[in-house]
Structure 1
Amino acid sequence: MLAYHQKSFLIVDDFSDFRSSVRSMLRELGVKDVDTADSGEQALRMCSQKRYDFILQDYHLGDGKKNGQQVLEDLMIEKLISHESVFLMVTAESSQAMVLSALEHEPDAYLTKPFNRSGLAQRLERLEQRKTLLKPILQALDRGKPMEVLNACIALCKEDPRYGPLCLRYRADALRDMNQNEALERLYNQILADRPLPWAYVGLGRLHFKRGQVLQAKEIYEKALKAFPMMPALYDGMAEVMVVENDTKGAQRVLEEAVRLSPLAVRRQAQLGKLAMTNEDFETASRAYRQAVSQGAQSRFKDAESNLGLAHALISKGSDKGLDTRTRLEINTTLSVVAKENPADPGLQIRARLMKATSLLLNDAETAEKLTEQAMLRLEGMEQFMSPEAALLVAKQLQMLGQDKAGASMLKNCAEIYGDDPVVMQSIAKLTDDPEILSSSNAAAELNREGVRVYKTGNLPEARTLFRRALTMQPKNISIALNMAQSLLHGTDTSVASAELEECRGCLKMVGMMPDTDARYPRYQKLKIKAFGE
């Protein structure tokens, strides 16, 4: 039986009557340590100062405040909650959308109001029994030691094979964290052969996709969606596959279904907005981005890209007939948030000004010109790299605003940084036919590919020569610079000053101007730690 008198509880709800009612129930069960909070922000402060064994978190905490889902995200990412703790999501609403949205973030349980003391006690007892049984695994998770997690799973299964099913997901996550992909694939296949589980389908699909096995991933998702049509993560995976297959309209349809099932996921809404913009479905794009902005206001996943995306969608939607007063107001409000909340980010400041200038082009040409001049001045002194998507949009807007020379310069810079990416070069080709811009990347990309091939043979001097030649042609190219840095670090003693080490550090300093959203950023960080000893 649960030793209530030894456990600490936190009740989070914006209604004082509910907090008092649940506290009374817990007192009657023998709980002595009960704290309460009326907001998510207060709950996070309290969890940063004290560890709770049980958290009863209401989902809705009032307009303009963090909801329960966002509190759980923060608790997990900031590591303010132990894996041994029990987190119960509480809500009076039981709609499909609400339940699926809450469960996507995997609280320990979902509790629907109203409930009585007996029902609460039964739920708490079952959850505590499970946590106690899995204690060695949960403690290893708290330490961030996947090998310990795996060993704890093995030990528990030896103690009693009946516990095997409880350990499956922990085993899979541990293998994933250790990059044991072959063993992970075998485990997923064993699980699915025995009993199809939705999370195993998601994991196997992601594993195939990560390996570049797009067709295999698609087959997994298709099979899984027939068995589990209510699983939003499966639709996310299928949409990723379809994007790689250049079926962006199909990907949008799939993601729209995921949003219909679980509409409260900020990043999913933003991804839908991005896909809809690609498909020039500006109505869907503006709706999705509007949801991402609204839902993200109190979320750690708040992203200025959603605000910029919303403004862009609204401008594009009204390009034929002009913007009405209400739309112009929404655009101004949306962009003002970006400018106000990101004063130290020159890229966002530039993009917000150009976006606003574009929206004013037909209604207020004088103000549009002033904003464009301000953006161009900032652009001249900017060192950080924009993402290719942002750079291409800036170039296009500059062209629309009559700044052809600045637009061409932006495209040239984008080709130099991302010229090894054929998708980026295809997008650049849609905005210019300048052979100097379009052909500059071909020779450098070929040298880079040859350098990678030679590097794999172990011929470091030749590989470095090829990478250097490629960098001479495109000195800002991220991929080439990373390859150069890696080749220079190979076999180099980083504790002793050398020409190779200095050249490597120079490459990494340049690459450090890349956006942290770039898929290559983790690789850069690993090389940086090795080169600089940070």
Structure 2
Amino acid sequence: MLVYSQKSFLIVDDFTDFRTSVRSMLREMGIKDVDVAESGETALRMCAQKRYDFILHDFHMGDGKKNGQQVLEDLMLDKLISHEAIFLMVTAESSQAVVLSALEHEPDAYLTKPFNRLGLTQRLDKLVQRKTLLKPILQALDRGRPADVLLACDNLCKQDPRFAPLCLRYRADALAALNRHEDLERFLKAILANRPTPWAYAALGKLLFKRGQAGQAKEIYEQAIKTFAMMPGLYDGLAEVLASAGETKRAQSILEEAVRLSPLAVRRQMQLGKLALNNADFDSASKAYRQAVSQGQNSRFKDPESNLGLAQALISKNHGNGLDARTRVEINQVLGDVAKEYTDDQGLQVRARLIKATGLAQAGDAETAAKLTEAAIARLDNMDQFFSAETALAVASQLQQLGQASAGSALLKNCVEVYGDDPAVMKNIAKLTDDPSILGAGNEAVDLNRQGVRAYQAGQLADALGLFRRALGLQPKNISIALNTAQALLRLGGEKPPLALLEECRTCLGKVAGIPDSDPRYERYRKLQIRAVSV
């Protein structure tokens, strides 16, 4: 038996008797540093103040409280737990839903109640032996140095080639972190050729999809599911690929299977709700969004989009039939939560009011609906943040349905200015309007931007900047054009750009400061902003 006397333990369970029992087991093992917590919230506060070597956390912590899965998510995201630490998920339940949901977040082990001291000791001994062997790799992970992870893997394999299988996933994750995509693809294919594993399938599917090889990614996920039908993450990947290809009904079906396997995942339920809503399957959408709202109450992944989605699904589900009292109460509750919890988010406030106005109009209260709509439009006129393209189109459609054609057209014009260089966005805008003054508003700017990109790629920086400036003059809020202009200014200015170029760059970035952090270009914006300020 290994020696644990110098290790620190935290026991988290809502039952006093269980905490006392496990503490006694640990005392018998010679362990003196044992803390206990009766809730996940308390455990998180304790972990913020003290680093534990071992955490034994019950999965279910009572209604309205964070469960073990959610606590593990928070510990990892906030970096309150080391890779060298051991997290054991403990539960009396052995149902598929609970086990798969717990294992998806990869605790070090899953321990079923009841257990005795011998069983606990044997499980801990195996985990400690493994983590001790992997210590250099785990330390490199804690430092956030993927290159050191690869080196540590190499050293471990040289020490004993039999350890190579232990290093496979660490190597793959490190290659991904270093953006060594070609090396990663070869590595993953070699693993799958030798011994297929679900994580390698998932990693390869994700990589191929990221590199624009959606067809190959689809084949990989489908092959993986045939072999590992109980791995919900594989279904998530396939659903994403299918949805991107426009196969939204099949994507919904695939995601429904993932939810059947592992239902306690907020983001999966939310994505299912979104797909079902887009597929006009309002019954399935309301069920999924309802689960996302409920499960999200104590989760890091709580998202007001689930509340808005649920309200919209309920209204659409009852379109033409009015709204019964129970449905009105549920809509008011979920939208009220958004209004109370996100008071500083102008966009959410506008959207919540418009959805509520739609519901009121459907319920026959036209007067109150009109007042809410007017209030929402007033807020919309004063907004300094950007909607995502998807959200802007949804809001424009709502405005049209509420009889606010002018406000809807104004929002569509703004959407063209911000996102008009994206053909997919323009295609969706065309579904809402045939007004040539809206659809053609960004054509000249988009063409100039395209010419600027070609000049930039050819190394003709001055010409590129001139083209970007002209395009930005026509569409000052276009995200792509503003970022291209800022990048060209910084590149042309060299290591120490003249003050005039820096000021122009900052002005460009200021025009699109409202870019949502969900936009794929947000990271590029952030890096350019940092450089423009720090130079």
TM range (shorter): over 0.9
Distance 1:454 1:94 in 2: 62
Q: 1:254 — aligned with what?
A: 254
Find out whether 1:480 has 2:515 as its counterpart.
no
Matched residue, 2:226: 226
- Tell me the alpha carbon deviations over residues 279-334 of structure 1, each in whole angstroms, 9 at most, x when there is no partner: 11111111111111100111111111110011111111111211111001000000
Give 3-state SS (helix, strand or coil) of 1:475's partner: coil
- Is contact 2:490–2:497 with CA below 8 Å preserved after alignment? no
Equivalence for 1:199: 199
Deviation at 1:485, TM superposition (A): 1.3
Root mean square deviation, CA, Å: 1.2
Runs (5+) with no aligned partner, structure 1: none
Tell me the equivalent position of 1:139. Answer: 139
Distance in 1 between the 2:526 and 2:121 partners?
Answer: 48
Per the TM alignment, residue 119 of structure 1 is displaced from its structure 2 partner at its CA by 0.6
1:2-21 residue CA offsets vs partner (Å, 9 max, x unmatched): 21111110000001111111
Q: CA deviation at 1:496?
A: 4.9
Could you tell me which residue of structure 2 aligns to residue 289 of structure 1?
A: 289
Letter in 1 for 2:470: R
Task: Report if the CA contact (8 A) 1:10-1:54 is conserved.
Answer: yes
Q: How does 1:426-441 map to 2 (within 5 A)?
A: 426-441=427-442
Q: Give the deviation of 1:82 after TM superposition.
A: 0.5
Q: Which residue of 1 aligns with 2:467?
A: 466
Residue aligning to 1:364? 365
The structural deviation recorded for 1:432 is 1.1
Q: Within 5 A, what are the aligned runs for 1:69-468?
A: 69-362=69-362, 363-468=364-469
Answer yes or no: is 1:18 the counterpart of 2:18.
yes
Distance in 2, matches of 1:279 and 1:398, equals: 21
Q: SS in structure 1 opposite 2:82?
A: coil
Q: SS at the partner of 2:36?
A: strand
- 1:311–1:334: 8 Å Cα contact kept in structure 2? yes
| Contact 1:100–1:262 (8 Å) recurs in 2 | yes
What letter matches 1:259 in structure 2?
Answer: V
Residue deviations 1:222-257 (CA, integer Å, cap 9, x gap): 111111111111111111111121111111111111
Q: Does 1:63 align with 2:63?
A: yes
Moved over 3 A (4+): 493-497
Letter in 1 for 2:395: V
Pairwise CA distance, 1:450: 2.3
Residue 529 of structure 2 is matched in structure 1 by 528
Cα distance in 1 between the residues matched to 2:298 and 2:496: 45
- Asked if structure 2 preserves the Cα contact closer than 8 Å seen for 1:440 and 1:473, the reply is no
Once residues 44 and 37 of structure 1 are traced to their aligned partners in structure 2, the CA distance between those partners, rounded to angstroms, is: 9
Whichever residue aligns with residue 182 of structure 1, its letter is: E
- Any idea what the Cα deviations from partners look like across 1:477-506, whole Å, max 9, x if unmatched? 111111111121114246454322222111
Q: Which runs of 5+ in 2 are unaligned?
A: none
Aligned partners of 1:495 and 1:329: how far apart in 2? 60
State how far apart, in whole Å, the 2-side matches of 1:508 and 1:3 are.
58
How many positions carry a matched residue from both structures?
534
Name the aligned partner's letter for residue 196 of structure 1: P
For 2:518 and 2:247, locate their aligned partners in 1 and report how far apart those are by CA, in whole Å.
24
Q: Alignment partner of 2:477: what SS?
A: coil
Q: Distance in 1 between matches of 2:419 and 2:392?
A: 10
2:461–2:492 Cα contact (<8 Å) kept: no
- 8 Å CA contact 1:494–1:531 kept in 2: the answer is no
Helix, strand or coil at the partner of 2:440: helix
Partner letter of residue 9 of structure 2?
A: F
Asked if the contact 2:462–2:492 (Cα under 8 Å) also holds between the matched residues in 1, the reply is no
Read off the aligned partner of 1:128 and give its amino acid letter: V
The residue identity in structure 1 corresponding to 2:2 is L
Instruction: Tell whether 2:511 aligns with 1:510.
Output: yes
Q: Shift of the alpha carbon at 1:211? A: 0.6
Q: Which residue of 2 aligns with 1:489?
A: 490
- Indicate conservation of the 8 Å contact 1:292/1:306, yes or no: yes
The TM-score with structure 1 as length reference comes to 0.98
Q: Write out per-residue CA displacement over residues 364-394 of structure 1, whole angstroms, 9 at most, x where no aligned residue.
A: 1111111111111111111110111221111
Q: Contact 1:494 / 1:501 at 8 angstroms: preserved in 2?
A: no
- Tell me how far apart the structure 2 counterparts of residues 191 and 468 of structure 1 sit (CA, whole Å): 49
Say which SS state the counterpart of residue 89 (structure 1) adopts: strand
Aligned partners of 1:521, 1:268: CA distance in 2, in Å? 24
Deviations 1:25-47 (A, max 9, x none): 11111111100001010000000
Aligned partner letter, 1:153: C
> Greater shift after overlay, 272-281 or 491-500?
491-500
Task: Kindly state the Cα deviation for residue 54 of structure 1 after the two structures are TM-superposed.
Answer: 0.4
- Indicate whether 1:4 and 2:4 are aligned: yes
Counterpart Cα distance in 1 of 2:17 and 2:129: 30
Pick which of 419-428 and 378-387 moved more.
419-428
1:79-109 deviations in Å (ceiling 9; x for gaps): 0000000000111111111111111111000
Match in the other structure for 1:50:
50
Query: How many Å separate the matches in 1 of 2:508 and 2:270?
Result: 33
Report the secondary structure of 1:515's partner residue: coil
Distance 2:188 2:284 in 1: 36
Q: Which residue identity does 2:286 align to in structure 1? A: S
Q: Percent identity?
A: 69
Distance in 2 between the 1:289 and 1:445 partners?
A: 37
Partner of 1:223, secondary structure, is helix
The Cα shift of 1:272 comes to: 0.7
Helix, strand or coil at the partner of 1:4: coil
Q: Which amino acid aligns with 1:85?
A: A
Give the Cα–Cα distance (whole angstroms) in 1 for the partners of residues 496 and 44 of structure 2: 42
- Give the alignment's TM-score, normalised by structure 2: 0.98
1:296–1:494 Cα change, 3 Å: farther
